Amino acid sequence: MSVPAAYVGVILIWSTTPLAIQWSAQGASFSFAVAARMLIGLAICLALMRATRTAFPFTAAARRLYAISGLSMFVSMLLTYWGALHIPSGLISVIFGLSPLVTGVFAALWLSERTLTPVRLAGLGLALAGLWFIFGQPWPGDRHATLGILAVMTGMVVQALGLVWIKRLNLRASALAITTGSLGVAVPCFVLAWALADSARLPPDTTLRAGAAIIYLGVLGSVVGFTLYYFVIKHLDAGRVALVMLVTPVTALLLGQTLNAEFIPIRGWAGIALIGAGLLLYEWQALRQLGGHRQAAEIR
């Protein structure tokens, strides 16, 4: 696999995921949309496990990891899918762009990692100011927009907490095995949520676009996207990986405006700009290292 192709693939998939989440719930309930997506993802993972004969650890430590990862996935995605009904899709990408900052805070508190340098704390402060701008004004089109933002924010925080918890367990297993085990825990929870919310009824009038979005998310969003991301992490330095978090919110916002006629008010753009500046400052050291690598390459 080509590293540049994988890098571009991650940006494209993550940029389109928020919009696909919104489209997947059109003509269908959000609980059905997320349950169907995860069922497709689990089926593909099981097929890949069998085809590649990947080892699937099932020790007590492995089961604990699958449970933590699967439950955090369930809570995070369920809240995100509900919130996506009420806010612009591009804003979802902006909120999840805060994940490195929140993960850094949890890592500092729980893993005693020295991630919160003065520069990173300044970046965190800018991002929090951006959130204040976003929460401090009404969003157009939906009276539940504030609750939607809060739901997506909570989902992002739960995901970050799950990532740090998984790192704390420090289990050696392949990414495919972890993804499969996590989905094995999460899928029954999603099906139960669908049963409780909609009595497990199939949507009577799912649109072609909604069906295509569910399949797209199940195949690309849940399996291919994470596989490419792990591949990129393995082959590139932190600065280049950090650029993904800076680029995807911008492209997701542009896609939302172009393909979904989404409107973001001026105060909302100010908040988004502050969040972007905060994330840029937070990742500044990694980006400086990236610049140093380029200069060294030019000298050679």
Which pair of structure tokens corresponds to residue 88? 């612009």
Region class of 170: left (phi > 0), else alpha (psi between -120 and 50), else beta = left
For residue 256, what are the domain limits? Answer: 3-299
Mean pLDDT of the chain: 85
Instruction: Look up tokens 């797209």; give the residue.
Output: 216
- pLDDT band at 38; cut points 50, 70, 90: very high
Domain count of the fold of the chain: 1
pLDDT at position 141: 54
CA distance 72 to 16: 22
Selection from 155, 21, 148, 18 nearest residue 76 by Cα? 155
Q: How far is CA 184 from CA 50, 67, 70, 200, 202, in A?
A: 15, 9, 7, 19, 22
The helix-helix angle for 208-216 and 30-52 (nearest 10°) equals 40
How many degrees, rounded to 5, is the angle at CA 103 between CA 36 and CA 153?
Answer: 55
- pLDDT band at 239; cut points 50, 70, 90: low
> Within a 10 A sphere around the Cβ of 92, how many other Cβ atoms?
27
pLDDT at position 196: 94
Q: Which of 31-45, 77-91, 195-209 shows the lowest per-residue confidence on average (mean pLDDT)?
A: 195-209
Average pLDDT over residues 213-237: 83
> Within a 10 A sphere around the Cβ of 208, how many other Cβ atoms?
8
pLDDT at position 297: 47
Q: Which of 9-18, 124-133, 185-194, 291-300 shows the lowest per-residue confidence on average (mean pLDDT)?
A: 291-300
- pLDDT band at 137; cut points 50, 70, 90: low
CA distance 187 to 181: 10
Q: Taking 60 as the threshold, does the pLDDT of residue 293 lie above it?
A: no
- pLDDT band at 298; cut points 50, 70, 90: very low
- pLDDT band at 142; cut points 50, 70, 90: low
pTM of the predicted protein model: 0.86
Q: Taking 90 as the threshold, does the pLDDT of residue 63 lie above it?
A: yes
- Give 70-116 pLDDT, tens digit per residue: 999 999 999 999 999 888 888 898 898 888 888 888 888 887 777 67
| Cα torsion through 101, 105, 111, 114, rounded to 10 | 80
Q: Which of 42-51, 68-77, 102-111, 135-144 shows the lowest per-residue confidence on average (mean pLDDT)?
A: 135-144
**Do 72 and 248 meet the contact criterion of CB atoms below 8 Å apart?**
no
Straight-line distance from the first to the last Cα atom of the chain, in angstroms, rounded to the nearest whole number: 27
pLDDT at position 192: 96
- CB within 8 A of 241, min separation 6: which ones? 232, 233, 286
pLDDT at position 299: 44
CA distance 75 to 20: 19
Q: Taking 70 as the threshold, does the pLDDT of residue 138 lie above it?
A: no
Q: What is the DSSP string of 214-263?
A: HHHIIIIIIIIHHHHHHHHHHHS-HHHHHHHHHHHHHHHHHHHHHHH---
Q: Taking 90 as the threshold, does the pLDDT of residue 67 lie above it?
A: yes
